[in-house]
Amino acid sequence: MNRTVSLLSFSSEAEHAGGGGSLGSRVLGGSPLECGGFREPGGTSCGRGGASCRPASRLPALDLLRGLNLLSMIAYHGAYDLVYLYGVDIPGYRGLPGYLWQQSICWIFIFLSGFCFCLGRFDGARRIRRGLLLSACGLLITAVTALIMPESLILMGVLSFFGLAALLTVPLYPLLVRIPAYAGLAGCLLLFFLTRDVSSGWLGFEGLRLLALPDFLYHGVFPMILGFPWPGFFSTDYFALLPWIFLFWSGFFTFRCFCGKKERRPVENVPEAVPEDGEAVPGPAVLFLRAGGRSLCAPLEYIGRHTLPIYMIHQPALMAVFLLLQAAGIL
């Protein structure tokens, strides 16, 4: 069963967000949820009834990871432009090293986005608004690429995925938090690997074909959103719910695995993760990511806090630089 699907590059997360990929072309990125901030002891609580939230404290390690990954994404897209638009030969880019580079970017961003879903007190209304915003941005990108550069059309891009991931996870949150963390993590990882190649018509992972899927699944827009694109489908940035929602939820359950047992006494100078019942849960993940509240690398953390706007300008900025180099006779 042959299916034409182009999975292209992945970009970044949304500002203050948690976390998408590319296979040969370009990618858009973003993430639906606020990431990097914990509720500090002392302040106004954030309840379900719309009460105001306590001031959020940034997690430098998360900002640093997002900043590094965003720079990796920009470098990957710059290399793509050089290779495919200017004919520059970059050893390994078209082969396995380039593929592994691309996959590392999208895996990290999607996993971090799910991980960050657990930060702070759950606010479903806010996260639904964020999901709707990212879904709208994804539709806008689809419209722009269809009108201006149809040869690089983007359908169900990574921004659309992050929007749908938020909109799906919010109503499922009460169920997800009742699943034992380690069982949830193991189950999501298994389902991610099992559904990794559904867009190609198979259950399996990276060419390991376990079971062919029936053709009737691969018809229509809704199946395409789920992960079953129609024959001849093409998108330069395709992130369907399957398999990526399971990687997103793997990050969700990983955070819960690291939280540890509930403690009622706050840890000094360490913000608290606040689950559904409102009790503080300072665990190993909090201690590690908080890193004492110290800045680890301010420039990279700034980039990690502003991934969406940086993502939105990075491709035009790259093209401007390359056009200048071409005009100067360097390219």
CA angle 70, 127, 268 (to 5 degrees): 75
Element of type H or E holding 64: helix 60-80
User: Please, are residues 224 and 155 in contact by the beta-carbon 8 Å criterion?
Assistant: yes
Q: Structural domain tally of the chain?
A: 1
Give this prediction's pTM. Answer: 0.76
Residue 230 located in a structural domain: yes
Q: Tokens for 299, please give them.
A: 């420039």
Q: Tell me whether residue 307 is in a domain.
A: yes
Instruction: Give tens-digit pLDDT for 258-278.
Output: 875 443 333 333 344 444 444
Residue 257 lies in a domain: yes
Are the C-beta atoms of 21 and 27 separated by less than 8 Å? Answer: yes
- Contact status, residue 258 vs residue 285, Cβ threshold 8 Å: yes
Cα separation, 240 vs 166, in Å, equals: 13
Q: What is the DSSP string of 208-227?
A: EEEEEPPGGGS-SHHHHHHT
Q: How far apart are CA 31 and CA 20, in angstroms?
A: 8
- Asked if the structure places residue 3 within a domain, the reply is no
Residues 26-47 have a mean pLDDT of 36
Q: Please check whether residue 115 lies inside any domain of the structure.
A: yes
Model pLDDT for residues 305-327, shown as the tens digit of each residue: 888 788 778 878 998 999 999 99
End-to-end CA distance of the chain: 41
User: Residue 289 is encoded by which pair of tokens?
Assistant: 């990511």
* Nearest-angstrom CA–CA distance, 177 and 299: 35
Q: Is 49 a domain residue?
A: no
Q: Would residue 11 count as lying in a domain? A: no
Residue type (1 letter), 167: L
| Spatial separation of the C-alpha atoms in residues 252 and 310, rounded to whole Å | 25
Is the predicted pLDDT of residue 37 greater than 60, yes or no? no
Could you list the residue range(s) of the whole structural domain that residue 310 is in?
37-44+55-327
pLDDT at 255 exceeding the cut of 60 = yes
Is 50 inside any structural domain? Answer: no
Q: What is the pLDDT of residues 81-133, one digit of tens each?
A: 899 888 999 999 999 999 999 999 999 999 999 998 877 777 888 899 989 98
Q: Confidence band (pLDDT; 50, 70, 90) for 289?
A: low
For residue 64, pLDDT over 60 is answered with yes
User: Which residues does 273 contact at the CB level (< 8 Å), separation at least 6?
Assistant: 38, 118, 119, 120, 255, 259, 280, 281, 282, 283, 285, 286
Structure confidence at residue 204 (pLDDT): 93
